[in-house]
Chains A and B, each alone.
Chain A
Amino acid sequence: MNSIILEARGLTKEYKQTIALDHINLQIKKGKIYGFIGQNGAGKTTFLRLVTGLAFPTSGTLALWGKSSKEELQKQRKRIGCMIETPALFPAMTAYQNMEVQRIQRGIPDKSIIKRTLDMVGLQDTGKKSVRNFSLGMRQRLGIAIALLNTPELLILDEPINGLDPAGIVEIRNLLKSLNKEYGMTILVSSHILEELYQTASEFILIDHGKIIEEISDHDLNERCKRHISIKTTDVQKTVMVLEDNLHTDNFRLMPDGTIRLYDYLNDLELVASILAESHILVTGLSVSGDTLEDYFLSKIGGMKDVKSPKN
């Protein structure tokens, strides 16, 4: 029970003519990275705004670390760090001054935490440059730094990699993973870039039209998407032996067309290729196949109903 840090029961948010969240039941457990997936207007940000206290639910209950009264929820929010939508920054101030504002309001006595956090997100050299002159990616990094300032137990990030360049995306991914590993930080991150989420999160929450349509772990998702390395060779028997003897795996299937589906080493295609080559096997095809998270999500919400294929 103690491992549940956020629990929503029947959480509903109605606006004048729309239901943004429709009786959401959800549990966020300690120490995991959750990917929050949904289309625009699915209710992701509304849910995050309810959790962070920016909006009030129409009905249902929300509990943080087991506390659900209004006053207790308020206190528990001190344990959260968040960035909802775009980073909230003072454009005329420097990165350091923006962080100082947050340090004072959170009552953190240690000033050196600012430099450490800016280092963490790669903004240590911005000096006296005001935030209005920052690129979109730099603002995003600063928003993340602000969310991390109090070393939160629950980190909520809404579209954190918007505007980041590829190197920045990898940096932020590694940062989130290391925060999760080193500090046991629970992370709830929403993103439209599903491939990126796939590489970061260990649990996925799929939301559509204000309803949770599925909660699934990365393990189960891999099973369902059946991600595998598809191997085509001229000598199937020998390939099977090499997989068993050299790669020490029996997690593969031999398909009727002679293709071998290997379910291990998904992120190590080069190793598989080199071992097959060392064993003098002629590889005629080697690729990672299977549904992507994007395909899976689209299949769950009923596909791209209104989008015609370019071939048609």
Chain B
Amino acid sequence: MSNLLKTELYKLFHSWYFWGIGIFNLFLSTILLLDSKGKSSNLIMASLYNVPLLYFLIIVFIALFIGSDLGRRTLNTYITAGHKRSCILWAKVIVSQIGCIIILIFPLLMHGVISQFCMKEKFIWGDNGYTILLVTLLAMITMCTLPIFLAFIFRDMGRTLAISMVLFFVMIFFMNSEYAQTIIKILPMGQLRLISLQKFYSIDFFLLVDFLWNVILYMVAGNVFLHIDLK
């Protein structure tokens, strides 16, 4: 397992798209602040407000990092080298999530630093600051779980990208529909939007929903990957 993690990290940091998407995400997130600054209390929350919109970059990253690895059969070399499929799955999931979180959090950190030191903004977390941080992190992880799940189901870059994008637009559509009040709480990208607007409703509910999303999607992905014939 440790060899697989090291290999995946090597692949992550040697991939042009990780750095490319990361930098583009920072650029786009900064541009979008012009729109979101007025909708939230401070710059870091304005940055968090944009995270759901930048989800498409995560979809592209996952399609390239997992979808193409399965499509090009480069992941198969782990199996032929005698690694357990479950270890391969988890190594890929862990490093993919690390990549996604770095991409998503980097602009938040940059904007947070600018907010604190240049704009002298004060951010009040309240009593449950760490819980909010945890929920934010879990919502981000859960948001990234969907394309990871689809990548293991379809094992192909094109379909992973296309279906994830369709679902992204469907989620955006529902978040603007008449059911938005309900939908927004059960979708991780909706939760992030609520957190950015500091509408925390029920933190426990967010945690439970995200936990269930992860358990269900990884159980299905694992079940498929462990038993499927690979190309």
Contacts and interface: CB of A to CB of B under 8 A. Distances in A.
A101 interface: yes
A92 B15 CA distance: 8
Interface in B1-47: 3-4, 6-7, 10-11, 14-16
Contact of B14 (A54, A77, A97): A97
B8 to A, nearest CB: 9
Contacts of B15: 92
Nearest to A78: B82
A233 interface: no
Contacts, number: 73
Given A55-B229, A56-B227, A105-B3, A84 B80 contact: yes
A104 interface: yes
Given A53-B79, A104-B3, A105-B7, A90 B74 contact: yes
Contacts of B6: 104-105
Contacts of A222: none
A76 B76 CA distance: 16
Contacts of A86: 73
B81 A106 contact: yes
A56 B77 CA distance: 16
B199 interface: no
Contacts of A80: 80, 82
A100 B10 contact: yes
A215 B82 CA distance: 28
Given A56-B227, A56-B229, A104-B6, A90 B11 contact: yes
Nearest to A15: B229
A75 interface: yes
Interface in A40-94: 49, 52-56, 74-78, 80, 82, 84-86, 88-93
Contacts of A150: 81
Contacts of A105: 3-4, 6-7, 77-78, 81, 83
Give the top 3 A-B pairs by smallest Cβ distance, nearest first: A77-B82, A55-B229, A78-B82
